[in-house]
Homo-oligomer: A and B are copies of this chain.
């Protein structure tokens, strides 16, 4: 994997997350996402990093709820990585 990550523009990342490009800029400013700056000051994001965020953060039961587990229904039994520390690296709160 030679870093074949393509660089995405804020608008691309914003469309992926369904947020405003400005919000993506704030993530980079807050250090929540890696950003590469162009000589002009614009930012570029790595596709691998964006994809990791999209699928890794909330990866939950994408499968339909099957009845085969009628044995019992653990509400939170997913490997969802429970307190995954979704983020606030800085104990902001």
Contact = CB atoms under 8 A, between A and B. Distances in A.
Interface of A: 6-9, 17-19, 23, 26-28, 30-41, 43-44, 49, 52-54, 57-58, 60-70, 72-73, 75-78, 80, 86-88
Nearest to A54: B36
B58 A40 contact: no
B37 A58 contact: yes
B39 A32 contact: yes
A70 to B, nearest CB: 4
A71 to B, nearest CB: 9
29 contacts: A7-B17, A7-B18, A17-B36, A17-B38, A17-B44, A19-B38, A23-B40, A27-B39, A31-B60, A31-B76, A31-B77, A32-B39, A32-B40, A32-B65, A33-B39, A34-B58, A34-B61, A34-B62, A36-B54, A36-B57, A37-B57, A40-B87, A41-B87, A41-B88, A49-B62, A63-B67, A66-B67, A68-B70, A73-B73
